[in-house]
Amino acid sequence: MTAKNTFNISEERRRILLVEDDLVGQESMKATLEDRYEVLIAETGEEALEIIRKQRETLSIVLLDLLLPGISGIDVLGRIKKDPEYSRLPVIVMTSDNEAEVECLTLGAVDFIPKPYPASKVIRARIRRTIELYEDRETLRLTEKDQLTGLYNREFFYHYVAQLDLYHQGTPADAIVFDINHFHTYNDRYGRKRGDEILKCIADKAMSYVNESGGIVCRSGADTFMMYCKHNDDHKALLTRLSACLNDGTDGDNPVRLRMGIYANVDKTTDIERRFDCAKMAADSVRDRLTAPIGFFDNSMREAEILREQLIDDFKTAIREKQFVVFYQPKFDIRKDVPVLSSAEALVRWYHPKLGLVSPAAFIPLFENNGLIEELDHYVWAQTASQIKDWKERINISLPVSVNVSRINLYDPELTDRLLNITKENGIKTENLLLEITESAYTDKTDQIITTVKDLRKHGFIIEMDDFGCGYSSMSMLIDMPIDALKLDIQFIRSAFKEQKDTRLLDAMIKLAASFEVPTIAEGVETAEQYAELKALGCNVIQGYYFSRPLPADEFEKLMIESPKKEDK
């Protein structure tokens, strides 16, 4: 036999306060209700208010007689309904006075039980129904609002936005998302309490705005708020108003800064959640732009997002169907009078069956962010190694080709084995597969990176430090990490040869690399002037459109055959 579960809220006896001075009324009501409810009795208004004050949290309903000694029932009702702490407590008035009904309803009574009483079963049914409705309403109240700020939560917000649309179809509206730049740092630096104060402050300002101007607002996440309001052109004023209480000096030189994304004049045929996705996209577009913290959604953002999603969706198929094609951009050794083809960099292109040729700028950063770059790297390494093998077998040329090793792959404990397998499977030497590691990877998990690089070099791989000069760790890195070549960041070259040509920094970098006996490679070289200057400065290898764009394998093969070889020098 199973014991009854007594720890169950639905089985709990609800508590009723009966305010009645007549013994017959008390006893008959107790007989009616006591098998299902716990009945507390107050014979006066004062007693009733005292019980409510002490036991508010556990009271489910008040049954209130109107004619009482001392404070009248009407007064008791008025006091309950005026006090925000008690006002949600449902009160049923018991009276024989029909004329009192309107006054009691106006004051907030939820129902009447006439006197003389109806039959017990009728009273039980009315009370049970009233308690159910009250508890449902309370559940709704507690779940629809964020407890900290008192704003709607996201789900109810969307529901009420739909209601607003129904009643105000013709009113232009804005979907707005706003949040705090680097909010987590405020909690870390000033404590959770201060963080909560900030959130409440913003919520109050937002609430005050929508109360005045129309609309609704919710807290949709930790520090993210969403607002749906009548269209307004002056969003700067709104941002100022929302931020008004934030920069009171409490947080020193680290003022709280909001950023805001706006989908203005929303298309009401667009799904509501989608509208706020758009506003969020606009907010993300101004991340960290402290001087321009308002972003506006436009269709190009949506198109870019759709493209990103499509590229992610199509990635697996593209790998399987070999839609990614490796191009080769030659690198020329320029130390002698005649530039000599010394190696190439493998650069991936995507021939998408529907989109045509997709720029690497569109998919490399995307795949770096979501981790797909790991698989794409593996693909490029294998394709490149296979191509090196093919050239060696068919035309007897073994030209080293560099491949990129993304940050995520540098943390792969099986990186060395993976690369060794690729070279072994293709029968090529490890020094023929050059590895380009971006300088910025060095800033995280430094020790692990250094260990990995040392291990790779031990197995004969040649390491080229890519994008050198764009990060912050360049100098110390040269001391700590053994590398075989240093590729100057393309922006470095561009900056040096702007209108106000200034190659002093370039000169210093090349000399610095030389002092470590590390050859320099300059990429992005486009003009004869750049070539000549870099040669004069002592740069060793050049890569760029001045010599050649990245070439398909067959065109690069022709270039290799026709180019002077090292042995021809």
Partner 1 sequence: MLTVEKLEEYGADTKKGMSRCADNETLYLRLVDVTVKELSSGSLGEALEANDLEKAYYIAHKLKGGVNNLELKPIAVPLCELTDLLRNKQPGDYKDLYDEIISRTNDLLAL
Return residues touching partner 1 (CB under 8 A): 21-25, 27-28, 31-32, 35, 67, 69, 96, 115-120
CA–CA separation, 177 and 20 (whole Å) = 53
CA–CA separation, 487 and 466 (whole Å) = 5
SS3 label, residue 151: coil
- The radius of gyration of the chain from alpha carbons, rounded to an integer in Å, stands at 37
Question: Which CB, 23 or 361, lies closer to partner 1?
Answer: 23
Question: Which CB, 112 or 117, lies closer to partner 1?
Answer: 117
Selection from 180, 176, 290 nearest residue 243 by Cα = 180
CA–CA separation, 211 and 217 (whole Å) = 10
CB of 132 to partner 1, least distance (A): 21
How does DSSP classify residue 297?
-
CB of 78 to partner 1, least distance (A): 20
Selection from 275, 50, 76, 73 nearest residue 157 by Cα = 275
- Angle, CA 332 vertex, CA 328 and CA 337 arms, to 5°: 155
- Structure token digits, residue 336: 């002698």
CB of 204 to partner 1, least distance (A): 49
Question: Which CB, 101 or 507, lies closer to partner 1?
Answer: 101
- Structure token digits, residue 439: 């300088």
How does DSSP classify residue 145?
B
Residue 173 near residue 231, CB atoms below 8 Å: yes
CB of 98 to partner 1, least distance (A): 13
CA–CA separation, 468 and 506 (whole Å) = 11
CB of 26 to partner 1, least distance (A): 10
Cα atoms in the Cβ-side hemisphere of radius 13 Å centred on 390: 11
Q: Is the peptide bond before 116 cis (omega within 30 degrees of 0)?
A: yes
CB of 35 to partner 1, least distance (A): 8
CB of 21 to partner 1, least distance (A): 7
How does DSSP classify residue 3?
P
Question: Which CB, 96 or 398, lies closer to partner 1?
Answer: 96
Question: Which CB, 116 or 249, lies closer to partner 1?
Answer: 116
CB of 69 to partner 1, least distance (A): 7
Question: Which CB, 32 or 423, lies closer to partner 1?
Answer: 32
